[in-house]
Structure 1
C-alpha cells in the first residue's frame, strides 16, 4: 500500500511500484500526475487518468512491446476498460478543467451518480 498525494492510499503492483514508491518517498511534485508523466505518459492523459481514479475508477497500466499491445487492448476491452478519450470529453463537458490534487475523492453516492450521468450520456451518443 502506497500513499500518493492527491489520491491517498493506493494498491500497486508491477513495474510501476518502484516508480510509485520513489514518488511517495521523494515527494514528487504533482503526486500521481508526476508519477505517470515520469513513467512516460503524456501530461494531458495523466490528468484524465488521475481524475478517473479520484472519481472511483481503477487505473491499469500495461507495459508491453508493440507486438503484444493489441492483445493487451483486447484483454482490457473484454474486461470493461473505458475509453479515456470519451471520459475526457465527458469530464470537460461537466466543467472539469484538469486534475486538482487538493480535491477530495468522490463519495460512494457521488461516484454512483457520476456513473449514471456518464452512462446516460453514452446512451445518447451516435
Structure 2
C-alpha cells in the first residue's frame, strides 16, 4: 500500500458512511501556492485527496501534515482514520517519513513536509494500481 505495516484493525472496522462527503487535502490548500513549498496545482491531485466527514475536515483543514497525523492517529480521533482507509494510509506514510527522519538525519524533512509532492504522486500511483487491479 506504500506504507509500513500498521494495525489492520482500521481495515477490519471499516464502515461506509453517508457523512463522509468532504474532500480533504492532506497537504492543506492554505499552505500551498506561489512562493510556497508546494504549488496549488500539485496539491490538487488524487494522491493528496481523501474523503472524510465534514466535521473532521473543517477542524483540521489548515493543519500541517504532521499535525494531522498526530491528531488523527490519536486513539480518541481514530474514527476519522477508520472512516477513510485511504486517509489512514496517508497518515501512516507521513508517520513513516517522520520516523525515517528520526533514524537517519539525512532523511529528515522540514516541518510540514513530512508529506510532499513525491509522496502524493507515489500514493496516487499506488492507489490507481489497486483500483485498476494491477497489483501483484
Is the structural similarity TM-score above 0.5? no
Higher relative contact order at CA 8 Å, sep ≥6: structure 1 or structure 2? 2
